[in-house]
Structure 1
Amino acid sequence: METYMSICDEIKKRFIRLSRGQRKVAQFVIDNQNIIATHTASDVGKLIGVSESTVIRFCYAMELSGFSELQERIKRDLMGDEERSQSDHPLITKKQEHLLSDVMNRDITSILNTIQLVNEKDFEKSVKWVHEAGFLYVLGFRQSSATANFLTCTLGNYRKHVKQIQHDVENIVQQIGSMDEQSLLFVVALDAVLEDVLTIAKLAKNKNVKIVAITNSSLSPIRDYADIIFTVGAQKQSSAETIIAAHSFTHALVEGMVSQNRKQYTAYKKANAQIESNFLFLEKSKII
């Protein structure tokens, strides 16, 4: 019996063969199936920032007769998802020996999708901003805090003036107060962006701070405040699963910064490591 493949699975299978404009449409379809099912091709094109003809050409590239057939496929898949919503998690019902490869292949797909979605010019500009910024701030609460921690620690290995904004009023006020036009704020928004994150981003924007956002949805409200926004992850992934792609992407950003002046950053990392080593030696001496 032939296994049914959803339209989003078909898109993922053909993703690498699509043009850059069609890939934008593809990712939007994967992330926003309900919008595709209820809006016209023209409306979808405006939301994505491409022409209606690009949306139609994407449908043809997927061997569909047009946008109407895409909507029908999406509606059929959404109905199927509802019917399966009460069933066990797919990983639980699979044989245990397949779990490892299934999970890690999903992570690989998430990273590969992110590579295709990243705008190279925006990436290069962000790397330049990280290198030139006097102060770096990292914001990420709740499920986004893991990536925010990772980015803060990785940046802190190579340079000074890296601060992670903590979720308490006093810390937030202090950090925003020290921001200026020489500052760069990273906003990690891998879950539903709540008012506290948007408020901080708005206040930073009012101080002419450059803002780079990392999110798992192209429609995230953080886009209203970010100078550059990067979308990471893959279809229907939870925030926890998206973290893998986000970590990989932020690692690439840091490596890009280091490449701007490898000698300077490597020297700082060595000096920082030596200080930590001396500190640990003193701590062990006290115990003895």
Structure 2
Amino acid sequence: MILHNLIRDNFVSMSKSQKKMATYVLDHPRDIALCSAAELGGRIGISESTVIRFSYSLGFSGYVELQKRMREHFFINEPTTSPYQHTEIELSQEDSFHKQVMEKDRQSILTTMDQIDAASYYAAVQRLSKAKAIYVLGLRTSYPAANWLSFSLGLVKENVHFIRPDTEDVIRTVSQMNSNSVVIIISFHRYLKETLQIAELVKKQKAYVIGISDSMLAPIHEFSDVLFPVFSQNKSTFDAVAPLFSFMNAIVSGLIVEQKDAFKNRQIMYQSIPSHFLFESTDEDS
């Protein structure tokens, strides 16, 4: 979405109050389309004039123009099944709990789809395809996602590494990186200092950094060449699980398309290795 790019490009020059609004609207962009400047300012805790100056800082003639652009985006380009249209239905529906949870996940995936910039996604997949080495980092609650992503990427390409500070010398691992390396870093609120410290070291090695976080303004943005925001309603990794894994699957799928011949050869090689003693056979295998 254009709003995310404009905020990221202009965030440093914003006032403290404007930065407060920027952080809010990245998580609630539809509020611009639905609220007046005064209403939006009241929700955020800033003045109406700050809302208008925020619009100026992004290059718009005023809040009316910004609102018009957002309304065009959400109510013309977006499918009718938007999260706002389903909110009341979710709350009033007396249905199985698992359906309510999964519906919430579906809406989070739809919101994340809208937030991902297609050009940035394609650029990231291209860099992964051309990379001589790929590294994946995610600590604490981000650890399972990073583990899955490194394993899946390793099925497509050689030389994929899962960074594990608890069992390896991170300095040695980072020292092997260069401009032909791509490092994917997953960092969610609360943002671990260790993740950011490693990211800073990685950046000094001139590696290409793909950040995945819950906001375009998350601390990892400072070290990312490209940053992908995954929607998390309550700034919780639990809320982000569904859209996070869906987006990571999109990355793996994009790489498979780029590496289709190499991937096919790797699959043939993988299947040629005797593994009957590792897996239980089924009727479909015979």
- Compute the TM-score of the two structures, normalised by the length of structure 2: 0.70
CA distance in 2, matches of 1:254, 1:177: 26
* Paired residues of 1:29 and 1:36 also in contact (CA < 8 A): no
CA distance in 2, matches of 1:283, 1:100: 31
CA distance in 2, matches of 1:141, 1:54: 42
Count of aligned residue pairs for this structure pair: 234
Change beyond 3 A, Cα 1:139–1:56 = farther
Equivalence for 1:191: 189
Equivalence for 1:76: none
Equivalence for 2:45: 37
Change beyond 3 A, Cα 1:61–1:136 = closer
Are residue 102 (structure 1) and residue 110 (structure 2) matched? no
CA distance in 2, matches of 1:22, 1:204: 25
Equivalence for 2:229: 231
Equivalence for 1:161: 159
Are residue 258 (structure 1) and residue 268 (structure 2) matched? no
Equivalence for 1:142: 140
Give me the CA root mean square deviation.
3.4
Are residue 114 (structure 1) and residue 124 (structure 2) matched? no
Change beyond 3 A, Cα 1:173–1:107 = same
Equivalence for 1:9: none
- Compute the TM-score of the two structures, normalised by the length of structure 1: 0.70
Secondary structure of the structure 2 residue equivalent to 1:213: strand
Change beyond 3 A, Cα 1:29–1:145 = closer
Secondary structure of the structure 1 residue equivalent to 2:191: coil
CA offset at residue 20 of structure 1? 4.7
Secondary structure of the structure 1 residue equivalent to 2:200: helix
Q: Percent identity?
A: 24
Change beyond 3 A, Cα 1:55–1:150 = farther
**Equivalent of 2:123 in 114, 122, 125:** 125
* Paired residues of 1:138 and 1:186 also in contact (CA < 8 A): yes
Change beyond 3 A, Cα 1:122–1:283 = closer
Structure 2 unaligned runs (5+)?
8-21, 32-39, 72-89, 281-286
Equivalence for 2:277: 281
CA distance in 2, matches of 1:219, 1:153: 28
CA distance in 1, matches of 2:4, 2:199: 31
* Paired residues of 1:144 and 1:189 also in contact (CA < 8 A): yes
**Equivalent of 1:209 in 193, 207, 210:** 207
Equivalence for 2:58: 50
CA offset at residue 258 of structure 1? 1.2
Q: Which moved more, 1:167-176 or 1:236-245?
A: 167-176
Change beyond 3 A, Cα 1:153–1:169 = closer
* Paired residues of 1:159 and 1:269 also in contact (CA < 8 A): no
CA distance in 1, matches of 2:167, 2:147: 19
Are residue 152 (structure 1) and residue 158 (structure 2) matched? no
CA distance in 1, matches of 2:270, 2:184: 23
